[in-house]
Amino acid sequence: AKAAGRNNFQFFVAEMNQRANERLQLESALRRALGGNQLSLHYQAQIDTASGQVVGCEALLRWHHPQRGMVAPDTFIPVAEDSGMIVPIGDWVLREACRQQAEWRNQGLGGLTLAINISAIQFQRESFPETVQSILAETGADPTAIELEITESALMQPGPVLSARLQKLVDLGLTLALDDFGTGYSCLAYLKRLPLSRIKIDRSFVTDLPGNTEDAAVVSAALSLAHDLGMEVVAEGVETAAQRAFLTERKCTLMQGYLFSRPLDAASFTSWVRGANK
Ligand code: C2E
Ligand code: CA
Ligand code: CA
Ligand code: CA
């Protein structure tokens, strides 16, 4: 029994080492990805279903690993956040998205809102507003066409520092959206005091609509409160006509999801949007 216990322990240590190793490997691979052209942005359409027009898109990060193939952001963003790599990666995303916006602007597609995901760690850096400002200047992007998607976790410490930071971004001309609404704990009444123009209802609340009565109640309540507070709402992860109908009935017309389009690479998105907005 003693020997077996020891073996188990050794196995446990070996497994822990292996995990730590895998993480380290992933970290250094990420570092190479950033320097080696392995990152790209895909764009997913946001539709105003009332007019049928594509009104914007969300930039979603993609990693083309030379051996592992396409690595999903849900697997590498947490590692990037723990290691601090999210800061240079996030800067890269901002710069690339702003460069793309400037290009669309030159091609007559400047009216599309381009939403960019911002990690809490990236947002909480003191230099964040200055970084955004210099990337805007460098790329020539139109700030009024850029929206920053900020998660609730970034807004957890209310106070003058947070308000000033958000206001700086608004003063640059950007709009702010609260991402993954419903997955955190903040209440909308508090959020209303922050300069947020939009909330995004998380896909996890949309998936089981309209059948799941709890999700239906949460989404209905969030929609009516958001609308009463004068905020726009984007529902994400809309896959079915029944989900769309449920949302439309509750006056939510801005939608994003596979029902309309999957995320596409820049060239495919650009030509798709030209066709869609004819
Ligand atoms: P998110 O911000 O909630 O983004 C929406 C996710 O839902 C995307 O996954 C998108 O591809 C997916 N999605 C959209 N419509 C549908 C649908 O109808 N059905 C299903 N099943 N999925 C749909 P993706 O691209 O894998 O990104 C996952 C998460 O990674 C994002 O969740 C976001 O939190 C994070 N992320 C992606 N890009 C960036 C980035 O540039 N910076 C940061 N900090 N995070 C990012
Ligand atoms: Ca998002
Ligand atoms: Ca998210
Ligand atoms: Ca989400």
3-state secondary structure of 53: strand
d(CA 226, CA 53): 22
* pTM, to two decimals: 0.93
* Cis? peptide before 210, omega within 30° of 0: yes
| Chain segment 232-270, per-residue pLDDT in tens | 999 999 999 999 999 999 999 999 999 999 999 999 999
d(CA 220, CA 214): 10
Question: Does ligand 1 come within 6 angstroms of the Cβ of 72?
Answer: yes
| Ligand 1 mutation target, pool 125, 202, 203, most atoms within 8 A of CB | 203
Distance 46 CA to ligand 3 centre (A): 16
Residue 153 confidence (pLDDT): 85
Q: What is the mean pLDDT of the chain?
A: 92
Question: Given a cut of 80, is residue 177 above it in pLDDT?
Answer: yes
Share of the chain above pLDDT 90, in %: 73
Residue 3 confidence (pLDDT): 61
Question: Given a cut of 90, is residue 278 above it in pLDDT?
Answer: no
**Which residues are placed with Cβ below 5 angstroms of ligand 2, an ion?**
117, 149, 179
Question: Given a cut of 70, is residue 104 above it in pLDDT?
Answer: yes
CA-wise closest residue to 244 among 209, 272, 276, 220: 209
3-state secondary structure of 108: coil
Q: What average pLDDT score do residues 56-67 get? A: 95
**Quick one: pLDDT band at residue 42, thresholds 50, 70, 90?**
very high
Complex-level ipTM:
0.97
3-state secondary structure of 238: coil
Q: Is residue 263 a contact partner of residue 44, using CB atoms and an 8 Å limit?
A: yes
| Ligand 1 mutation target, pool 57, 58, 60, 244, most atoms within 8 A of CB | 60
Question: Given a cut of 90, is residue 199 above it in pLDDT?
Answer: yes
Q: Considering every ligand atom, which ligand is closest to the CA of 60?
A: 1
Q: Which amino acid is at 69?
A: G
Question: Does ligand 1 come within 6 angstroms of the Cβ of 258?
Answer: yes
Residue 262 burial by Cβ neighbours in a 10 Å radius (0-12, 13-18, 19+):
exposed
d(CA 133, CA 107): 23
Question: Does ligand 1 come within 6 angstroms of the Cβ of 236?
Answer: yes
